[in-house]
Amino acid sequence: MTYSKTQIIDHLQQIHQFIRQTVADMPEEKLFAGTETQWSPADYLKHLIIANKPFAKGLMMPHDQLGEMFGKSDNGSMTYDELVAIYQKLIDEGLRAELAPSVTPVNYRMPEGVTDVKTYLIETWDDANQRIIRALEGWSEGDLDTYRTPHPAIGVITVREMLYFTIHHNRLHGNDIANGA
């Protein structure tokens, strides 16, 4: 299935609200209950924030600058299902976020002076998602299929494909959060 920009925004907003409400409703002892080998729900949220914030920043760049940095696609975008299948194949072959230290929760830097970590994480999650949505205002349907951006495991993909990944990735880890990780 190919999602329009409006459908992409709807999916991102629904998943954002699901995760936000799940975290807000979760008792702190459950939210932060993780081990050395198992991320806590808060760790999954940190991972999503780390993944979403740079993408939002990239979406705010001038389109021609993205084109110069990563090229343009002549083939358009694959469908949501095709992108998810490629990512799932990588996972099946052993891809793990833990193998990419830049997106692991241990690399999440909490600002000094934060005393209410739960509220801070929720607000940061809200901000990351709002930045993606706001940035999309400047993108046409054609631009989403033309301009490309890097994904750390998949390679250089179109902006629409990265949005598909973001939907899938947020949903995947939103379920991890909801299930208590």
Instruction: Please name the residue ranges forming H helices in 26-158.
Output: 28-31, 41-59, 63-70, 80-92, 117-136, 141-146
Residue, of 91 and 104, whose pLDDT is higher: 91
Handedness of CA 150, 151, 156, 162 (dihedral sign): negative
pLDDT in tens, 41-69: 999 999 999 999 999 999 999 999 999 99
Question: In percent, how much of the chain has pLDDT > 70?
Answer: 98
Q: Which residues contact 161 (CB under 8 A, 6 or more apart)?
A: 77, 78, 83, 151, 154
- Cβ-contact 158, 77 below 8 angstroms: yes
Cα 54 to its chain centre, rounded Å, is: 9
Show the tokens assigned to 119.
């509220």
- Cβ-contact 32, 170 below 8 angstroms: no
φ, ψ dihedrals at 151, nearest 5°:
-115, 135
Residue 156, classed as helix, strand or coil, is strand
The structure's pTM equals 0.94
- Cβ-contact 91, 167 below 8 angstroms: no
Q: What's residue 82's pLDDT?
A: 97
Instruction: Examine the pLDDT at 107 and tell me if it is beyond 90.
Output: no
